[in-house]
Amino acid sequence: MKTNIAVFASGRGSNFLAIAKAIKSGKLKKVNLALLVCDNPNAPVIFKAKKLKIKVVLVRPDIFSTKKDFEARIIQHLKENKIGLIVLAGFMRMLSSDFVRAYKNKIMNIHPSLLPAFKGKEGIKDAYEYGVKVTGVTVHFVDEKVDHGSIILQKEVRIEERETLESLEEKIHKIEHKLYPEAIKLVINSKLKVEGRRVLARNW
């Protein structure tokens, strides 16, 4: 039986597309990409989803008087489409504590650094400007703090001596597109268990 997933995105949708391709190619089995949830009517990801004939739900926050009402509408769509896993892929809004608790250990996020280092939306730039030799990509469960939840997978990316910010961004994104489907596969196949902030592989 396949698990219905919803990808939340606000922008270009490169990770959304990577996930969709992994499903279509058979690398990601037991997964049905049932829904794209987007908060930005001008986001290119919407056109990518429509081209792939994936259902799009546009929920604009500006038409709701409160964040609670905005999230209630999203939850309504999630329930209607029997969503079992939420995948954040460039969704530029903080989810409330109530939302996160309602979907505990069922919301994933990807971040372009080796968390807990370089949290926030400029993770690649911050690591580059700080001068570290190694950065990377983290996929983690979402909790009530920013870029803080239990880590599912990480992959290192070395910053070379003559690296530019643009070349580093390109390297990071390539890793993201491989790592996110792998992490989804682990979660869907229930090969993980969460103990506090630790994510452990099950012993079979």
Question: Which pLDDT score, from 0 to 100, does residue 147 have?
Answer: 79
**Other beta carbons within 10 Å of 144:** 15
What sign does the dihedral 20-24-26-29 (CA atoms) show? positive
* Domain 1-103, CATH number (from 3.40.50.170, 3.40.50.300, 3.20.20.60, 3.40.50.2300): 3.40.50.170
Question: Which pLDDT score, from 0 to 100, does residue 146 have?
Answer: 83
Those residues whose C-beta lies under 8 Å from the C-beta of residue 27, and which sit 6 or more positions away, are 181, 185
Question: Which pLDDT score, from 0 to 100, does residue 137 have?
Answer: 97
Question: Which pLDDT score, from 0 to 100, does residue 204 have?
Answer: 37
Tokens of 12: 């270009």
Q: How confident is the model over 126-185, as pLDDT tens digits?
A: 999 999 999 999 999 999 888 788 999 999 999 999 999 999 999 999 999 999 999 999
pTM over 0.95: no
Question: Which pLDDT score, from 0 to 100, does residue 190 have?
Answer: 74
* For the chain, domain boundaries: 1-103, 110-204
Question: Would you call 89 exposed, middle or buried from its count of C-beta atoms within 10 A (0-12, 13-18, 19+)?
Answer: buried
Return phi, psi of residue 141, to 5°: -75, 150
Relative orientation angle of helices 14-25 and 165-188, to the nearest 10 degrees: 50
- How many whole angstroms separate alpha carbon 150 and alpha carbon 18? 23
Question: In the beta sheet, which residues pair with residue 193?
Answer: 200
Fold match flag (1-103 vs 110-204): yes
Please give the average pLDDT of every successive group of 10 residues along the chain, which has 204 residues: 95 96 94 97 97 97 95 97 97 94 95 94 94 96 88 96 96 97 92 61 48
In whole angstroms, how large is the CA radius of gyration of the chain? 17
Question: Which pLDDT score, from 0 to 100, does residue 192 have?
Answer: 63
Residues 72/198/172/120 CA torsion (nearest 10 deg): 50
Residues annotated as catalytic are 111
- How many whole angstroms separate alpha carbon 92 and alpha carbon 12? 12
Question: Which pLDDT score, from 0 to 100, does residue 203 have?
Answer: 44
CA distances from 180 to 41, 42, 80, 177 (A): 25, 24, 25, 6
Architecture per CATH, domain 110-204, reads as 3-Layer(aba) Sandwich (3.40)
Q: Is 192 helix (H, G, I), strand (E, B) or coil?
A: strand
- How many whole angstroms separate alpha carbon 108 and alpha carbon 149? 9
Three-point CA angle 198, 19, 173, nearest 5°? 75
